Structure 1
C-alpha cells in the first residue's frame, strides 16, 4: 500500500545529476536508474511504489540553476497528474 503523503525538500540541488540521484535515493528507484527524464517517467508510473501525494518543496534552487530541466520537470508533473488518477505530484509553492 502506498504511503499517503511524502514531502521531499529539493533545497540545494542545483544539477540534473544531483536531482536524479536524490529522486533515486528518496523514492527507492531501481539500481539501473540513471540521469534521464525517460527513466524518471518509467519509474514513477510503472516501477516505484509512489505515494498518493508527493510534494516537492524548495525547488527554486534547481529552477534557477537548471531552467530547461525545471521546465521538463514541470511537464512531467503535469503529465503524471493527468496519467495517474488518484495520485499527484505537487510543487510547493505552485510553479
Structure 2
C-alpha cells in the first residue's frame, strides 16, 4: 500500500486525544486500547499502514504532548526498521528520528 495519508496532529492536547486521532485516521478497530502497546500491536498485526504518512502540526504536538510525539516517532521508526523499510514518514517539524 503506497497511498499517502496526511494526519493533522495539531488538535491533540493529550495522549488520549492523540490515540483517538490515530485510531480514526488509520482506521484502527473499535477495540483499540489507546496506549502505545496497543498501537504497536495494531500496526504490526491488525491494520495495514499506508506506505507514506505525513504528519502536520508536529511542532504543536511536540510542545503539547511531548511524550506522545516522541513515542509515536519512535514506534514508527521501529516499525519501519522491523517490518517496512519502504515506509515513508514525514513531519512538518523536528522529530526524534530522521526519515
TM superposition score category, shorter chain reference:
0.7 to 0.9
How many residue pairs get aligned? The number is: 94
| Match of residue 41 from structure 2 | 42
Q: CA RMSD in A?
A: 1.6
Cα offset for 1:10? 1.0
TM-score, with structure 2 as normaliser: 0.81
Residue 91 of structure 1: aligned partner:
91
Runs of 4+ in structure 1 deviating by more than 4 angstroms, as ranges, are none
Q: Identify unmatched segments of 5+ residues in structure 2.
A: none
State how far apart, in whole Å, the 2-side matches of 1:66 and 1:9 are: 14
Structure 1 match to 2:18: 19
Per-residue CA deviation, residues 21-73 of structure 1 (Å, 9 max, x unaligned), is 11111111011102210111111222112111111111222211222222212
Deviation for aligned residue 1:3: 4.8
| C-alpha displacement of 1:7 | 1.0
